Amino acid sequence: MSVTEPQGFRAAGVAAGLKTGDRRDVALVVNDGPDHHAAAVFTSNRVEAAPVTWSRQVVVDRRVDAVVLNSGGANACTGAQGFQDTHATAEAVATALEISAGDVVVCSTGLIGELLPMDKILNGVTAATNQLSAQGGPTAAEAIMTTDTVAKQALVQGDGWQVGGMAKGAGMLAPALATMLVVVTTDAVVDPEELDRVLRTATAQTFDRIDSDGCQSTNDTVLLLASGASGVTADPQALTEAVTTCCAQLARQLIADAEGAKHDIAIEIRSAATESDALEVARSIARNNLFKCAVFGNDPNWGRVLSAVGTTAAAFDPQTLDVSINGVEVCRSGGVGEDRSLVDLTQREVQVTVDLHAGDVTVTVWTNDLTHDYVHENSAYSS
């Protein structure tokens, strides 16, 4: 159940003093090969953190030997000094492991706009190097947590190979990635172009379909590393499915641990004309604060759903919209349907289904409710 379950990987997570209370905050994942193939997707936020700028260049040649990750500071909006700090971190890893700094991905997460305490980071890199082990995956997953309350890991079995993963993220979760660091490993034998295709297919169906609060981060990174250590060449379709399943499990864990959330909400859009229509409608609901507050209050206020749908450009006729909440069709043909008092919202998981009657595409986006705890957590985040 971790990034070190697939063969060919070692990892460690150590406490370097970036976070308070002796919690782990620096993680290292190393691919011992024989292959060192990698694929990555990064935030689409144009204000990107120094480690994202660095790592984009690292993965251009599709070779990654190690990834170093820290919580306790995002190293975003930190100018030239921030980039030098990322570079110095990669160099420290490279020196310790006798590899090239150009093959070291760097990921950071935490508060934006403050320089990292580099003495602590570099001590952390040394400590993590010394503790690397094939059982180290869980400690690495722990070290990347910020406001997360649990570590997120996943494991999928292939035919002679495995896919393991870890992720962090609890707020600032939105399509086009979020404050989210994800490392997925596999020991399958797969060529790097195929690996890139696999990762893009998987993230489009998983991380790009969760939307906690509509806020996109400066630091998002999803990295897929392939060691080839199993010696088994993976069928591309099977590998795509395994990586997608691994990413879906991690994405679901992110929503389940979203800041302050009391409900996990699956928004299913049925009978859309196109996938982009379905996603636009789903996201307009997922980002509607009034809807999210209503779910928090166990209130099946379907008017909030319809008014969100009405703001989109998707193909539909307002007179034929149907909306069900937890199986009760509260809105039928754009008007009043079954009695809303029949809806039970006391369970954590909520299913909202909107039928657009405009085509044959179905898409599900996961989100969560908007709660007092979200407001509390984010009104006290940096102070």
Q: Are 358 and 314 in contact (CB under 8 A)?
A: yes
Q: Which is nearer to a copy of itself, 68 or 314 (CB)?
A: 314
What is the distance between the alpha carbons of residues 35 and 359, in angstroms, rounded to a whole number?
44
- Residue 219 annotated as part of some ligand binding site: no
Of the pair 149, 380, the CB lying nearest a copy of itself is at 380
Residue window 56-85: x/- pattern of binding to a copy of itself, with contact defined by CB under 8 A: ------------------x-xxxx-xx---
* Cα four-point dihedral sign 348, 248, 277, 260: positive
| 349 known ligand binder | no
How many chain residues interact with a copy of itself (CB under 8 A)? 70
**What are the b/e assignments for 274-295, b being 16+ CB within 10 Å?**
eeebbbbbbbbbbbbeebbbbb
Smallest distance from a copy of itself to CB 286, Å: 12
Compute the distance between CA of residue 177 and CA of residue 310 in angstroms, rounded to an integer.
25
The identity of residue 87, as a single letter, is H
Told to check if 355 binds a copy of itself by CB under 8 A, we report no
Pick between residue 60 and residue 111 the one whose CB is nearest to a copy of itself.
111
Residues whose CB is less than 8 angstroms from the CB of residue 23 and which lie 6 or more positions away in sequence, other chains included: 15, 142, 145
Which of 1, 33, 62, 115 touches a copy of itself (CB under 8 A)?
Answer: 115
Residues in the chain: 383
**152 phi/psi in degrees, rounded to 5:** -110, 120
Do residues 174 and 246 make contact, with C-beta atoms less than 8 angstroms apart? no
Q: Which of 47, 60, 134, 238 binds a copy of itself (CB under 8 A)?
A: 47
CB atoms < 10 A from the CB of 216, how many?
21
Among 224, 143, 216, 140, CA closest to 180? 216
Q: Which of residues 257-316 bind a copy of itself (CB under 8 A)?
A: 287-290, 293-294, 296-299, 301-304, 306-312
Contact 16, 127 (CB under 8 A): yes
> Is 221 in contact with 182 (CB distance < 8 Å)?
yes
Binding segment (CB under 8 A) for a copy of itself, from list 5-13, 95-103, 125-133, 215-223: 215-223
Q: How far apart are CA 292 and CA 301, in angstroms?
A: 10
The answer to whether 74 and 110 are in contact (CB under 8 A) is: yes
Q: How far is the CB of 174 from a copy of itself (least distance, A)?
A: 8
- The reply, when asked if residue 383 is annotated as ligand binding, is yes
Smallest distance from the beta carbon of 334 to a copy of itself, in angstroms?
6
CB of 112 to a copy of itself, least distance (A): 3
The reply on whether position 342 binds a copy of itself by CB under 8 A is no
Q: Which of 4, 179, 203, 206 is catalytic?
A: 179
2 binds a copy of itself (CB under 8 A): no
Burial class from Cβ neighbours inside 10 Å (0-12, 13-18, 19+) for residue 307 reads: middle
> Are residues 183 and 340 in contact, defined by beta-carbon separation less than 8 angstroms?
no
Task: Decide whether 149 or 382 has the Cβ nearer to a copy of itself.
Answer: 382
- Residue 194 marked in a binding site: no
Cα 362 to chain centroid distance, Å, stands at 22
**150 vs 336, beta carbon nearer a copy of itself:** 336
Among 89, 108, 218, 245, binds a copy of itself (CB under 8 A): 218
Q: Does 134 bind a copy of itself (CB under 8 A)?
A: no
* 338 contacts a copy of itself (rule: CB under 8 A): no
Residue 193 assigned ligand-binding role: no
Give catalytic status of residue 179 as yes or no: yes
DSSP string, 58-72: HGGGTB-SEEEEE-S
Binding residues: 146, 168, 179, 259, 378, 383
Catalytic residues: 179
Binding residues for substrate: 146, 168, 179, 259, 378, 383
The site for a copy of itself (CB under 8 A) is made up of 44-48, 74, 76-79, 81-82, 111-115, 171-172, 176, 213-218, 287-290, 293-294, 296-299, 301-304, 306-312, 318-319, 321, 330-331, 333-336, 340, 370-372, 374-383
